[in-house]
Amino acid sequence: MKVLIVDDEVIIRTGLSTVINWEASGFTVLVPAASAEEALIRIPNERPEIIFTDIRMGGKSGLQMVHEVKKEYPHMEMIIISGFDDFAYAQQALREGASDYLLKTSRPDEIIQAALRAKERLEYRRHEYEQVKAKEVVVNRSFLRQLFASSSNPNEHTVMELWRRYPELYVKKGSQLLQIWIITAQEEELEEDRDCDVLHASLGEMLAGLLPCEWLQWNQSLLLLVKIESDNNGWDPVEWAIRKAEQALHSQIFAACGRSVEDAYQLREAMDTAVEASSYLWLLSHEQSVRYEQIKDRKGLRMVCTIEEETMLYTLLRAGSTEDLRVGIGSILARSKQDDQATPSSVQAYLHSLIMAGHRWLERAASSIGYSNVLPPGLDVNKRELAKRPEQTLMYHFQEIMKQYSRMVSGISPVQRALEYINEHLEQSPSLSQVAKHVHMNPNYFSEVFKRETGQNYIEFVTQAKLRSAMVMLNETPAKISEVANRIGYEDIKHFNRIFKKFTGQTPSEYRGKS
């Protein structure tokens, strides 16, 4: 905290500045001033926080200086240090705005204590001011957020409120314009320990120091409302500020600008066009920025994949190579980016048609071998993610299709998987339809294949599996016969006894006694 000493006596100002250990208490003493006039000239540039001044000096008095300083800098702390122990002087000094009155005979510790009290008052006022400003920023940004979230142009009351809250953004018609920019830090450029919101906030603060603008966090991006001069002679101050901030923050930034507007009544148009321009983040990621004027006339590419593309996709899915699939998807996406008519919505529709084609191929492959219940077409296709992260989204869906296809044609036959399932669920008496669903087969087709591979029909096999399990329990556990029957799904003990005897030639009791 800077201290300025003002006194026309060289011995006093030299003594006050050198005898007292100001640095130990956190103060920096500026070169003392020999008069009130010198101090008033230096104050605007040197900006001391605390001033110690004599009252009687050649030229302007200390009291006159206090009056002038407090008028221009009301928060500056003024302390009188006088050779006159006069109550009237002290009263007048306090009326002019001085916060303390000391005598030149005061001890160094008394002078330091006066400075520390002034420092405490300054810090308290600064803290209060920062709290008020922080609340004001929150309220103002809430107003701004509501303004941009509205689906209609602002009315006169809203525009007047905008200028009241942000007078620095007021535009002069004919010579100034308003722009809305949506600025996004490229996610792949972010380090693991860097938070996207924190980075955007830092970016916003930097831009606010370089431009007449206001910012707020907006859908994982930064929204910037900025005032520009209509004629910048080809020099773009916003682009310049964004690239300067980008370098300082060591992060790649994509900036999208909407249509420039002449007044706040057109902000809805500026906002809508900025959102449209920002939707090109993936398509034009090789560019640093995009303006609405650059993309507004794009017609879009075809939204359905061709037969040739479907055939290429089927070949990749059947081969089962993740790396080949990634290369194929990369080629598809590169072609989309190179199309100068591509729009985000048309690319999204085209990529969605590829996913649908993949599911149709899986359904046909499943049907040809009697499978059913494959992933339904378009399962959980998140269209927003498809537009934002197309490569990751396509890889996820196609890999799921490849996994299902691999299971369908793997070396373990569906009947073998069915036998495992039956033996694990004997207590639940699984039906043929349930087991067929588990192995993704049509029930009728499964029944035929099951009998062909096991030599038994489904019911015969399940019944015998249950009875063999009962034989093991009767041999190896002390469970009651009724408990054994219940464990394999028979509630009627008489029925259980009857079929058990038919299978083994003995009743359950006889079988246990014999063993």
Question: Picking from 239-243, 340-344, 384-388, which range would have the lowest pLDDT averaged per residue?
Answer: 384-388
- Give me the CATH number covering residue 256: 3.30.70.270
Q: Are residues 65 and 109 in the same domain?
A: yes
Domain count of the fold of the chain: 4
Does 143 fall in a domain?
no
Judge whether residue 374 has pLDDT over 80: no
* Under 8 Å between Cβ of 93 and 64: no
Better pLDDT: 485 or 417: 485
Domain-ending residue, one of 292, 319, 354: 292
Whole-number pLDDT of residue 375: 62
**Alpha carbon distance, N-terminus to C-terminus of the chain:** 99
Whole-number pLDDT of residue 369: 66
Q: Are residues 404 and 420 in the same domain?
A: no
Q: Are residues 164 and 275 in the same domain?
A: yes
Question: Picking from 2-16, 309-323, 354-368, 439-453, which range would have the lowest pLDDT averaged per residue?
Answer: 354-368
- The tens digit of pLDDT for each residue in 52-83 reads 999 888 889 999 999 999 999 999 999 998 88
CA distance 90 to 86: 6
- Give me the CATH number covering residue 437: 1.10.10.60
Q: Are residues 402 and 339 in the same domain?
A: yes
Q: Are residues 249 and 288 in the same domain?
A: yes
Domain residue limits at 463: 414-514
Q: Are residues 92 and 20 in the same domain?
A: yes
Q: Are residues 357 and 264 in the same domain?
A: no
Q: Are residues 277 and 182 in the same domain?
A: yes
Q: Are residues 275 and 340 in the same domain?
A: no
- Positions of E strands within 86-236: 100-103, 176-185, 213-218, 221-229
pTM: 0.65
Q: Are residues 363 and 429 in the same domain?
A: no
Q: Are residues 376 and 486 in the same domain?
A: no
Does 146 fall in a domain?
no
Does 468 fall in a domain?
yes
Domain-ending residue, one of 105, 125, 145: 125
Does 134 fall in a domain?
no
Q: Are residues 393 and 419 in the same domain?
A: no
Q: How far is CA 252 from the centre of its chain?
A: 16
Judge whether residue 193 has pLDDT over 50: no
Domain-ending residue, one of 386, 408, 430: 408
Could you please report the per-residue DSSP string of 286-327?
TSSEEEHHHHTT-----SS--HHHHHHHHHHHHHT-HHHHHH
Does 400 fall in a domain?
yes
